[in-house]
Amino acid sequence: MFKKSSYPFRAAFVLVTLTLFLLAILVFPGCTEETIISEIDDLSNPNIQPRVIFTLPSNNGVGPFDLFNRGDNYNKPHFVIRFNKLMNTLSFESDMIKVEGFDRPVVVDLFPFFFYRDPEIRSTSSSSSIYDDVLAFSIRDSLSYQRLSYQVGHTYTVEVEPGLSDINGNTLLGRYQFSFNAEPYFRVLETYPEENDESVSPSSQISIIFNSHVDTSIFPSLQLSPQIEGKWTILSFDLSTVLFRQLQLLPFNTTFTLTVDGNAKDIYGHQIHQAFSSSFKVPAFGVSFNSPENGQVNVELDRSISFSFNSYIDTGTVRNAFTLSPTVQGDFSIASHNFWFTPFIGFSPRTIYTVTLTTALRASDGTSLPAPYSFSFTTGEFRVTSTSPSDGDLNVFRANNINAWFNAKIDTSSVRNAFTINPSVGGTFILYDNSGYFAFDPSLQLSNNTIYTVTISTALRSKHGYNLSSPYTFAFRTSP
């Protein structure tokens, strides 16, 4: 009944090692036990000198590459280097790797917690530990510290200087150099909303992210169909991102098409590689989420009913549109896209409730819910949800209170007759009206190294008048 504080380390280590080995065999079926063990040994073999064996992008590679994408560059590095040894990342200094091709001085940093899947380097998380054979790097402006974008048509050369140490203290001796053209042409990287998104909010901001800086001369090449009132603008802090600032909410139940004509150019005169088109849909006004879910069982008696919508709602229409059967008295909390109904004293146990929103509910622009929305759920028993100490706890501090929490507000007058503790201890109860909690505060410290058993009987009632479904017993041992 009582919990152990820890498990044997050796058993856990063996289990983890075996699991990793089996995963390696499954993911890389061509690998044998000897191959895996040999490769692990080679990565940390003091007799092998460190060297570069693979890069992303590869030498003389021409993009575009998925590795670095200006549209989501916060979770991707600029380039990746794989070594034949586990390298000591603590030995890395920014001047060990130089990058030529930018129009300003740059600094190279290790990129943390990078995950990339490639058949040549396998699935790996790099730069996330002190020792790793696959290291990812990012490039930033040496003055502003901002991460930089690759420029269209530029060739970049990365030079790995000597000095980086491996796990055995061997240092990289010779220089390694590779070059690539990451962005050979002007293109659209990303749009928001995304292509084929059919759940777009009417309040969504429309944007296009390019791989190069643009100015207002690109605006005639941008079209949104059907047209709505608004204007194109360029982000002041990111000249590669264009926004459409609409003067109204996007209309419901409408499919939009965003187009970049083939004559669009960046500020350097590069014409777009090809015309671009992307579509998305704003659905009809409706519920995007509700809790509890339809058909959910064993729902807590003290929980709220909540709704989220795909647009701003007319808050004044909520109360008249909401019905609950059987009827329960409660209160509403209303926000721009959401509302919550919270019963005053909780739901009845073992009861099916049906919630309905009628078409009286409207969006902020006056659009009515197209059809009534309904769902049902079933409540569970009135019960204890947790205690402190928990059942089986050891070394419990002898001056602690004994606490109990329930899934409904409790009738505080029923607590004293329902609570027993063995061995018997005098004390007082801490009770709060309209709460699903009580505490027992012993008059004296509990005895040392003693097992105490607490029982909360079915005499305990909810504020709704329902008794605890069954007695609840838990035990704990005090500290020596």
Tell me, what DSSP letter sits at residue 148?
Answer: P
Q: Treating both helix axes as pointing N-terminal to C-terminal, what angle do 33-43 and 9-27 enclose, rounded to 10 degrees? A: 110
Residue 368 lies in a domain: yes
The answer to whether residues 319 and 392 belong to one domain is no
CA dist., res. 125 & res. 139, Å (int): 19
Q: What is the tens place of the pLDDT at every residue in 206-240?
A: 999 999 999 999 999 999 999 999 999 999 888 89
345 and 396 housed in the same domain:
no
Cα 459 to Cα 251, 405, 452: the distances in Å are 57, 16, 21
The H helix count followed by the E strand count for the chain is 4, 33
- Please tell me whether residues 59 and 156 are part of one structural domain: yes
Domain check: are 59 and 173 in the same one? yes
Residue 27: inside a domain: no
Q: Residue 126: which domain range?
A: 46-181
Averaged pLDDT, groups of 10, the chain, 480 residues long: 38 39 39 40 87 94 86 80 93 94 93 61 55 91 88 96 94 94 95 94 94 96 95 91 92 96 96 96 96 96 95 96 96 96 93 98 95 97 96 96 96 97 97 95 96 98 93 97
pLDDT score of 467: 96
**Domain boundary at 323, 352, 379, which?**
379
Domain count, the chain: 4
Residues 232, 301, single domain; the answer is: no
Give the closest residue to 408 by CA, choosing from 368, 438, 369, 373: 438
Tell me the helix, strand and coil percentages in the chain, rounded to 5. 10, 40, 45
Which among 353, 379, 405 is the end of a domain? Answer: 379
Domain boundary among 233, 257, 282: 282
The per-residue pLDDT for range 236-245, each reduced to its tens digit, is 888 899 999 9
